[in-house]
Amino acid sequence: MQALAALADPTRRRIVEMLSVRDHTAGEIVSHFSMSAPAISQHLKVLRDARLIQTRIDGQRRIQTLDKSGLDEIETWLASTRRFWEERLDALERELLKETSHTKQAKQQKHNPAKTNDNGK
């Protein structure tokens, strides 16, 4: 998944966080980092390729905005992964509860042995 790989970089995550608040020009984004404009441009390209941002041209300005399609891809993957793990964790919980129940029963039987009948058996 290209979107998650793109977000592995902290600079790109920060750019996406900035764009989640409002759209920014490339120059505004550059001003928030201590790196060159070409370096930020490379990060923006990776985010565009991953469909996490789009660039809108407004005269001389290049306005960066979030791209819903890349975020939807991540959300779909997360939902699928969450279902996968929820099913397995629920099954684990059931097994642990069974084991706990059996352990409690065994302890109760050990501390409260069954009464013998009149024949001494």
DSSP secondary structure, 59-92, as one string: TTEEEEEE-HHHHHHHHHHHHHHHHHHHHHHHHH
Could you report the per-residue pLDDT of 70-83, keeping only the tens digit for each? 999 999 988 988 88
What's the pLDDT score for residue 40?
97
Tell which CATH classification among 2.160.10.10, 3.40.50.300, 3.30.2390.10, 1.10.10.10 matches the domain 2-67.
1.10.10.10
Q: In this prediction, what percent of the chain has a pLDDT beyond 70? A: 93
**The predicted structure's pLDDT at residue 117:** 52
- Tokens 């923006």 locate to 44
Domain range list for the chain: 2-67
Q: What is the DSSP string of 39-63?
A: HHHHHHHHHHHTTSEEEEEETTEEE
Asked whether the beta carbons of 3 and 48 are under 8 A apart, the reply is no
pLDDT band (50, 70, 90) for residue 99: confident
pLDDT at site 5? 93
Nearest residue to 49 via CA among 18, 70, 75, 23:
70
